[in-house]
Amino acid sequence: MTEQEFSEIEFIELKRRLDGDERILIVDVRNPDEFVGENGHIPGARKVPFADMPLALERIVDAIDRTIAANCGFAGRSESAAQLMSEAGFRHISVIRGGLVAWREAGFPTD
């Protein structure tokens, strides 16, 4: 088993950094129906379903050197996805602690 090669980011810190115009790519690894469903997604997030990985990583290869925040409903899939991204060569990956649940509970916007 490989060592964890990603960090966690608090949703409040992520919001602060996004509001400060930091270029963070949010990768939402939930299923497509969850991404567009009633809970929505974090504005600007790219849909990269975990079920489609690692092939889906080709959609974000342009961000291999960018800061990436992986998101799912809470944290399970995003941690697995972050590990796969790390193994694929992505360098700056964080998992959003609490995921979309925490984001929405804080009253932050969704699309």
pLDDT digits (tens, 9 = 90+) for 29-63: 999 999 999 999 999 999 999 999 988 898 899 99
Q: Which domain CATH number covers 15?
A: 3.40.250.10
| Confidence at 3, pLDDT banded by 50, 70, 90 | low
Q: 75 lies in which domain range?
A: 7-105
What predicted TM-score, i.e. pTM, was given to this entire model? 0.90
Contacts of residue 26, Cβ cutoff 8 Å, sequence gap at least 6: 14, 42, 44, 45, 46, 68, 69, 71, 96
| 23-35 per-position pLDDT tens digit | 999 999 999 999 9
Pick from 108, 83, 109: which is nearest to 94 by CA?
83
User: Is 110 among the domain residues?
Assistant: no
Number of structural domains the chain divides into: 1
User: Is 94 among the domain residues?
Assistant: yes
What pLDDT is stored for residue 1 in this prediction?
A: 42
What pLDDT is stored for residue 39 in this prediction?
A: 92
Six token digits for residue 36: 């567009």
